[in-house]
Amino acid sequence: MDPYRDHILLIVNVASRCGFTGQYAGLETLYRQYRDQGVVVLGFPCNQFAHQEPGNEDEIKSFCTLNQGVTFPLFAKIEVNGVHTHPLFQYLKAAQPGILGTQAIKWNFTKFLVDRQGKVIKRYAPSDIPETISTDIATLLKAK
């Protein structure tokens, strides 16, 4: 994560065959709108929810680039729940638990907004469309 030090981050567990896959377009729009101001969208493919991300790293990147126009960074497939939860998602979930304090990620396209100091500011449900996050990003940019 060191390359993203001092950036505002929107971290998302993504999947290519999910009902929320259309959100890639909104995530890309946010990335293009704010990247020159130090905002980065980071996509972490995850196959833990109904096996909606079955491909390997190259297949996932190809799908996202060709079909969704994604230019923001995509990482290797990870787990966001269970004993093999990636340390980044352990941190995110502990910092911003979900409804009723649960730390579990409920589905693909759960999003976390992180400020320039690495503090997790907000957790968004899969159903929260990326466009609604723009106001929170703008607020963080003003807080420089």
- Cα–Cα distance for residue pair 83/1, rounded to 1 Å: 22
Is 18 a catalytic site residue? yes
Q: What b/e readout covers 57-74, taking b as 16+ CB neighbours within 10 angstroms? A: eeebbebbeeebebebeb
* CA dist., res. 40 & res. 50, Å (int): 28
Q: Annotated catalytic residue: which of 14, 15, 18, 137?
A: 18
* Count of C-beta atoms within a 10 Å radius of residue 90: 12
Which residue type sits at 109? Answer: F
If you count them, how many residues does the chain have?
144
User: Which residues does the annotation mark as catalytic?
Assistant: 18
